[in-house]
Structure 1
Amino acid sequence: MMRNKLIGSREALDNFQFVTINSRVLFNEKERVVRIARAYSQVVKSAIKQLFDGKSIDELTKEFYNVLPNYIYLETALKQAKTITDGLLDREDEKGEIIHARIRRFWFGSRGNKSDKGNRNIKFHVLEDHVLIKVKDPWGKWVFGKAYFGKEYLPLLKELEDLASKKVEGYGAVVSFKDYPMIHLQVPLWLYLKHFSSLKPNGYGLIAGFDLNSDRLNVVVISKDGEIIANKTWWYSDVTRPGFTKGKAMALRLNALSESLNFLSRVGVDYVVFEDLFLVKRRRFTRSKSGNRKVSRFAKRQMLAHGVIKSLRLCFNVVLVNPKGTTNSEEHEKVMREKGFDRHTASAYLIALKGLGMLNDIK
């Protein structure tokens, strides 16, 4: 049995190629970096409207090159605008009207490429206690900065720097400005796991299905024969109350994830199963205003990403299954009746069964 594997749709696997690590960065000429961010943000905002109007990426590349005269920056900005546009098209409201984008962030990015020795525009060099950052100015020379990722990340970054110099790996990079400049480096997942994984005891081939919700986390453990071994709920109901900050809410949810995975390690689970949210194109809203507030504020994909990475770090195999039928279906109603489960426990059970089915299909 292979361990530490991620099994899911192509869309999901594409979203788990990299892990982002972050650090504050101090630039020697901050105003030059801010100029790049202003131009980049202007391109993203302007391109969204024109993409809606039917213009192609090729047309926009020619049009905006005078605004942001760097092909890689421009390509990254237009790709981001296309992603935002596609997301808005998928989130039409019930009347068929497009939800308008409000771009509040102030940032710029440069996609990675191993042929460019990692990244053409944003480079780094690991020193004894910090990381030197180099940012390409489209209107001038390089801008330098210092980042402090923490000593535990330096061996990882040192190896990535070496791989990039040999044209073996690339890395994406983003510089953002909220309270202060931040650098976000996209590290290859395999390399991140190499440096930060911790072995768990061998399990018994058990499968655990997760149902992630705004106010609770439900887990059902089944055997390879589909027999229910255990089920458990971790509550964090306070996070859905008005006034509860997103940061504190996410911290409580991630703490529940950590506790659940530690529990599963003790039980003998080898496979953890989550819904493949990358197959879900639209958020499902209800007639309940409070319910809609929970849906809109709950960053479910973010929680899924944390759950997947945390699971892989702990050497679980991760399976991502199509969520169709795990919440509203005749089978879901039947499970609630026959097993005496509430809606969320029934969903976790069906998710576990779908994971078992996928594993049986690939054996």
Structure 2
Amino acid sequence: MTSKLIGSKEAPENFQFVTINGKIEFGELDKVIRIAYYYSKAVKAGINLALRGVSLNNAVKELYKIIPYAFYAETAYKQALALVENNGNKVEIRKKWIACRGSKADKGNRGIKFHVLEDQVEVKVKDPWGKWVHGKAYLGKKYLPLLSELEELSQRKEEGYGAVISFKHYPMIHLQIPLWLYLKHFSSPKPNGYSLVAGFDLNSDRLNVVVINKDGEIITFKTWWYSEVVSHGFPKGKAGALRLNALSEALNFLSRIGVDYVAFEDLFLVRGRKFTRSMSGNRKITRFAKKQLLIHGVIKALRLGFNVILVNPKGTTNSEEHEKVMREKGFDRHTASAYLIALKGLKVIKNNE
């Protein structure tokens, strides 16, 4: 069975790429840090331009004065626009990084390029004030065949890839791989199941799943807990790993019982975070990267051969129907949400038949 992503017309836009990460070493690191300093400065200036509603072309001309390479300036402004859209005027730029958007017409990427060798990846970064700066990236041998094909496609102007160089603890490279190509290299075949639909409710401290059949009847429901991750001082990295592990366990369980469709809320339809009067509740909200968990869940599900459905989250948490489900089924709030998400997924399937 070939997996597919089903949702609104806009849904696939948020799942076009998979990011792979690796350490990178530069012989002239000082030059790369200089580029990152001015790129980050351009993003900061771009935020002010975005708040004023300046057009892309005019913004690029202004930012070119800070970082004199049009492809960096353009990417910086697009990132500034995204930051303003997500956070309003409360945006702080503290880190330094370099980013360059991908393009088929530019043989993949104009500012950050890679070349695959037998056991490593050569990278070169465009210096706006000089020549290319060369480095070596260590992304893992399992990715080399994938990167070789992407390089070939880029040279033929058939695919592009975005790229970022970051400096949190040491220099890292982040390459945005087209999703279809990633799935081609890393998907696992899944036998056909029984047309069962599983609804997922993603939370900061638990993962709730409800499985229904094509008639909407409940087959099973299950909760994966990771309550410790919301305690004060719990390491953010370890919390993320526990959540991802729960997602993987849930998907493997669903594969074993014959589920063919998994439904998630399309969180990209939700604007902003809703804060509460509870300090502990707000800590859960700020520390919980729900959209990142959604992206991981969608990609993991596609890799395992599930069809993925993204549904509108309206009414799945606070609604009369939600209250009715809790009352009649005896479900807690999160299980009730998972059940309603599954029902919405089933409705999408029937509308697409």
TM-score (norm 2): 0.98
Give the corresponding residue for 2:187.
Answer: 197
CA distance in 1, matches of 2:167, 2:10: 29
What amino acid is the match of 2:11?
A
C-alpha deviation, 1:28, in angstroms: 1.4
Give the corresponding residue for 1:355.
Answer: 345
Contact 1:11 1:279 (8 Å CA) reproduced: no
CA distance in 2, matches of 1:74, 1:54: 16
RMSD after superposition: 1.1
Which among 188, 204, 224 is matched to residue 234 of structure 1? 224
C-alpha deviation, 1:105, in angstroms: 2.2
Give the corresponding residue for 1:51.
Answer: 50
What is the SS of the residue equivalent to 1:10? Answer: coil
Contact 1:207 1:270 (8 Å CA) reproduced: yes
What amino acid is the match of 2:20?
I
Contact 2:45 2:63 (8 Å CA) reproduced: no
C-alpha deviation, 1:102, in angstroms: 1.4
Give the corresponding residue for 2:77.
Answer: 78
1:209-228 aligned within 5 A? 209-228=199-218
Give the corresponding residue for 2:320.
Answer: 330
What amino acid is the match of 1:77?
A
CA distance in 2, matches of 1:244, 1:69: 42
What amino acid is the match of 2:126?
K
Contact 1:44 1:78 (8 Å CA) reproduced: yes
C-alpha deviation, 1:335, in angstroms: 0.4
5+ residue gaps, structure 2, are none
User: Where does structure 1 differ by over 4 angstroms across 4 or more consecutive aligned residues?
Assistant: none
What amino acid is the match of 2:255?
S
Contact 1:125 1:131 (8 Å CA) reproduced: yes
**Does residue 170 of structure 2 align to residue 171 of structure 1?**
no
Contact 1:11 1:278 (8 Å CA) reproduced: no
**Does residue 9 of structure 2 align to residue 10 of structure 1?**
yes
Deviations along 1:209-236, one digit per CA (max 9) or x if unpaired, are 0000011000000001101000000000
CA distance in 2, matches of 1:304, 1:219: 14
Contact 2:188 2:305 (8 Å CA) reproduced: yes
CA distance in 2, matches of 1:239, 1:269: 29
CA distance in 1, matches of 2:160, 2:237: 31
What amino acid is the match of 1:284?
K
Which among 267, 277, 286 is matched to residue 277 of structure 1? 267
C-alpha deviation, 1:3, in angstroms: 3.4
C-alpha deviation, 1:295, in angstroms: 1.0
Give the corresponding residue for 1:140.
Answer: 130
C-alpha deviation, 1:360, in angstroms: 0.8
1:244-323 aligned within 5 A? 244-323=234-313
Contact 2:187 2:305 (8 Å CA) reproduced: yes
C-alpha deviation, 1:121, in angstroms: 1.3
Give the corresponding residue for 1:95.
Answer: none
What amino acid is the match of 2:91?
A
1:103-182 aligned within 5 A? 103-182=93-172
What amino acid is the match of 2:261?
Y
What amino acid is the match of 1:42?
K
CA distance in 1, matches of 2:33, 2:330: 58
CA distance in 1, matches of 2:183, 2:2: 13
What amino acid is the match of 1:143?
V
C-alpha deviation, 1:111, in angstroms: 0.6
What amino acid is the match of 2:37?
R
C-alpha deviation, 1:276, in angstroms: 0.2
CA distance in 1, matches of 2:97, 2:274: 30
TM-score (norm 1): 0.95
What is the SS of the residue equivalent to 1:80? Answer: helix
CA distance in 2, matches of 1:54, 1:273: 37
C-alpha deviation, 1:54, in angstroms: 3.9
